Amino acid sequence: MDTFKRRNFLKKGTLAVLAASGGLAACRSADSENQAQKTRKSDKIFRWKMVTTWPPHFPVLGENVDKFARLVEKMTDGRIQIQVYGAGELIPAYEVFEAVSLGAVELGHSAPYYWAGRVQASQFFASIPFGMNSQQMIAWILGGGGLQLWQEVYAPFNIVPYLGGCTGMQMGGWFNREINNINDFKGLIMRIPGLGGKVVKKIGGSPITVAGAEIYTNLERGVIDACEWIGPFHDYLLGLHRVAKYYYYPGWQEPGTPLEVLVNKNALAELTDDLKAILETAIMHLHTTIFAEAEAKNAEYLDKLIQEEKKELRRFPADVLAAMNEQLLEVVREMIATDPVSKKVYESYENFRQRAIRYSEATEQSFYRDLQSAKSALKI
């Protein structure tokens, strides 16, 4: 190759490399611009609707959803405006999941076990009878892979779920008949959702699910013989102590019940990164405030029921609890045998529960057992 040709070849090669590198730079520049566009604050105003399973402005739950909407608007400087609708104002209480799934509304607030007929595995993200308590459930969801599974389960329905509160451990419920043995459940009509309802059915009862606003009237008129609602605070506000004789404990059916915020996947995808981060931060604030207020109010109003209303607490007999636990195991076996999704979620749940039990036995359970003999010493 002569000198001219060699120089010409090298020149063309150099230009090709420069062109290629320029192209790469241009691609990088375009990618950077796209990313900047995605993360840049948007001037677009999103006007969203949020429906709940609770009555309008319902104490603790609905009230904090109202505050959540105001907080989001304030934090986004008005770029996300949320109109909240209580149960029955826009849609019926138990159509929240469907409304968010179809995109009729952008947001919902409810409890996962209400969708058992549509998504069987959803029940494991609410509360499993005789299962993990509130702090253990929250730990599994936020730190043990539960949230990722939850989002995977809801993905086919165009919904992204988030942890949206927790009502703590419930009481066993209000009864107009005494429970002395397992046979006392036979023929008993009880308002109870989720897996707890399936257990009641297994032992001969008739579980039904009715909205909170209907519970008092149904119990007063004898349409139902028993019910469980949320906890002492909400039970008191609903007046259940006036239409039922016996208040049983412990809340075997719901030892720790997380709530959920449902977000339509398409609506969420429209948000810029800053708006999405604000929304998720506000949801976490909603979760912590509901959980804290529920714990505080339930402790206060259990005392009120005992001291002021003179209600006598009844403990479920040990053999009744043992029999119900056996039936629960049968219910779960049937679920995971026929539904691979439920099996996957349950295995994650159960693996975490076993570790949580070992830890609890060495810490909290031991601590409270040792305190029994020292209670009087703690009084000032």
**pLDDT tens digits, residue range 266-315?**
999 999 999 999 999 999 999 999 999 999 999 999 999 999 999 989 99
Residue 210 confidence (pLDDT) above 90: no
Residue with tokens 């570790």: 355
User: What is the pLDDT at residue 33?
Assistant: 54
At 206, the amino acid letter reads S
Residue 206 confidence (pLDDT) above 60: yes
User: What is the pLDDT at residue 102?
Assistant: 98
**pLDDT greater at residue 24 or residue 308:** 308
**pLDDT tens digits, residue range 126-139?**
989 999 999 999 99
Range with the lowest mean pLDDT among 35-44, 272-281, 316-325, 344-353? 35-44
Residue 20 confidence (pLDDT) above 60: no
If you count DSSP H runs as helices and E runs as strands, how many of each does the chain have, helices first?
Answer: 14, 11
Q: Which of 306, 314, 174 is nearest to 244 (CA)?
A: 174
**pLDDT tens digits, residue range 146-186?**
999 999 999 999 999 999 999 999 999 999 999 999 999 99
Q: How much is the mean pLDDT over the chain?
A: 89
Q: Which of 147, 154, 233 is nearest to 137 (CA)?
A: 147
User: What's this model's pTM, rounded to 2 decimal places?
Assistant: 0.85
Exposure of 246 by Cβ count < 10 A (0-12 exposed, 13-18 middle, 19+ buried)?
A: middle
Q: How large is the average pLDDT for residues 27-33? A: 51
Report yes or no: 56 and 86 within 8 Å, Cβ to Cβ: yes
Q: How large is the average pLDDT for residues 10-27? A: 39
Q: Which of 214, 213, 182 is nearest to 200 (CA)?
A: 182
Q: Taken in order 355, 359, 364, 370, is the CA torsion positive or negative?
A: positive
Crossing angle of helices 340-362 and 318-338, in 10° steps, is: 140
Structural domains for the chain: 46-166+257-295 (3.40.190.170)
Residue 334 confidence (pLDDT) above 80: yes
Q: How far apart are CA 206 and CA 316, in angstroms?
A: 18
Q: How far is CA 270 from the centre of its chain?
A: 24
- The DSSP code sequence of 104-144 is SSSEEEE-GGGGTTT-GGGGGGT--TT---HHHHHHHHHHS
Report yes or no: 163 and 151 within 8 Å, Cβ to Cβ: no
Residue 80 confidence (pLDDT) above 60: yes
At 211, the amino acid letter reads A
Q: How large is the average pLDDT for residues 333-345? A: 96
- 129 contact partners, CB below 8 Å, separation of at least 6: 195, 196, 199, 252, 253, 254, 255, 324, 325, 328
Q: How crowded is the C-beta side of 293, counted as CA atoms within 13 Å?
A: 15
User: What is the pLDDT at residue 348?
Assistant: 98
Q: How far apart are CA 184 and CA 195, in angstroms?
A: 19
User: What is the pLDDT at residue 65?
Assistant: 98
User: What is the pLDDT at residue 17?
Assistant: 35
Please tell me the total number of residues recorded for the chain in this structure.
380
Q: Which of 295, 219, 289, 308 is nearest to 256 (CA)?
A: 295
User: What is the pLDDT at residue 42?
Assistant: 62
Q: How large is the average pLDDT for residues 41-54? A: 90
**pLDDT greater at residue 20 or residue 220:** 220
